[in-house]
Amino acid sequence: MSREAVFNLVVLAGLVALPLYAHLSDAPFTITLATRAVILSLAAVGLNIALGIGGLVSLGHAVFFGVGGYAMGILAFHAQTYAPLMEWPFVVEGTKSMPVIWLVAVVFSALVALGIGLLSLRTSGVYFIMITLAFGQMFYYFAISWSAYGGEDGMSIYVRNGFPGLNTLVPVQFYGLCLVLLCAALAFNAVLLRSPFGLALNAARQVPDRVRAVGLDPFRLRLLAFVISGAITGLAGALFADLNRFVSPTMFSWQLSGEFIVFIIIGGTARLFGPVAGAVLFVALEHFLGGVSDYWHIWFGLLLLGVVLFGRGGLIGVIAGRGRGHD
């Protein structure tokens, strides 16, 4: 087994064993913290499909995170106010059911990704970054001005949504649910990497001219990757909103888009567990360094600088050596 595989197993085992640690050390807050890390990991795993395999540096992935969050917020808001979402041409009620909310979040973030992708994937490089950023800002300011759903203040959902057979109000059960979804996304990502689509997408990043010359269209490959990527990040957004029981325009902020990219770079670009390692490290540092100093971002910035300058394979690159990953 490669060192990277061992590292991945250790990370996974750590996440699975974390509730036990929290229980033994009587620190239940750790579970909430870990849930946050797992959800942010999921969001970054989504981004990694576009960025890591496809080479699409999207600075607008918070759009999908926010769409997922607002999908949850709007559905749950209507359920808790007993006001239907719409009455014409047919009645749509709100819901407090997680599976339904997830489905809506995934479908809508995929559709938004399709729209954004159709326009932005015509460009590349810096222009692509700028266009995705611009879309992010559009959604951000739209959310601020959408007073029906809290505008700038966002909206609170009083009770966490339900999942059949589970009590999601118990932190460890919600944590387990999020972890299962993260594992499913990672498994899908692993299968994708070995599939024809993974091979073609990976080649479209490295040598688009070659991909065209064998009769494939890099644009279509990237578009599909972008849609899948957005859908997974959207699902993470719905979970994140449920974790906080709160939705606000900050879920669309470009800073969050930037953080997703930072998770991937710190963990290791195009590494399966890169986003997970990066997000877990970020949440841990945010908690511990944040307790020491309000200015912890300075230290985090130094870490990022160090990784970019000296450890170009990210955390996993440092631990496992250069392998599958790329710069």
Partner 1 sequence: MTEAVLQTRGLFKAFGALQATEDVSIELRPGEIHAVIGPNGAGKSTLIGQISGAIVPDAGAVLLGGRDVTALAVPGRAKAGLARTFQISQLAMEDTVLQNALLGALGAAGRPFDMLRPVARRGALRDRAEAALARVGLTDQARMRVAELSHGQRRQLEVAVALTLAPKCFVMDEPMAGLGTEGSARLTGLLDGLRAEAPILLVEHDMDAVFALADRISVLVYGRVIASGTVAEIRADPAVREAYLGDAA
Contacts with partner 1 by CB under 8 A lie at 191-192, 194-200, 202-203, 206-207, 209-217, 221, 224, 324, 326
- Residue closer to partner 1 (CB basis): 36 or 222: 222
Minimum CB distance to partner 1, residue 217 (Å): 5
Q: Which pair of structure tokens corresponds to residue 244?
A: 């906080």
SS3 content of the chain, % helix, strand, coil (to 5): 75, 5, 20
Minimum CB distance to partner 1, residue 187 (Å): 11
- Residue closer to partner 1 (CB basis): 57 or 289: 57
Contacts of 26 (CB under 8 A, 6+ apart): none
Minimum CB distance to partner 1, residue 205 (Å): 9
Closest among 8, 2, 33 to 243, alpha carbons compared = 33
Distance between CA 277 and CA 42 in Å, rounded? Answer: 11
Helices and strands in the chain, H and E counts: 13, 2
Instruction: Give the helix ranges, DSSP H, for 49-94.
Output: 62-81
- Residue closer to partner 1 (CB basis): 159 or 199: 199
Minimum CB distance to partner 1, residue 260 (Å): 22
Minimum CB distance to partner 1, residue 277 (Å): 20
Minimum CB distance to partner 1, residue 44 (Å): 20
Environment class of residue 87 by beta-carbon count within 10 Å: exposed (0-12), middle (13-18) or buried (19+)?
Answer: exposed
**Neighbour tally for 11: CB within 10 Å:** 17
- Residue closer to partner 1 (CB basis): 88 or 194: 194
- Residue closer to partner 1 (CB basis): 154 or 218: 218
Minimum CB distance to partner 1, residue 281 (Å): 25
Burial state string for 232-270 with b = 16 or more CB within 10 A and e = fewer than 16: bbbbbbbbbbbbbbbbbbbbbbbebbebbbbbbbbbbbb
Burial state string for 53-62 with b = 16 or more CB within 10 A and e = fewer than 16: bbbbbbbbbb
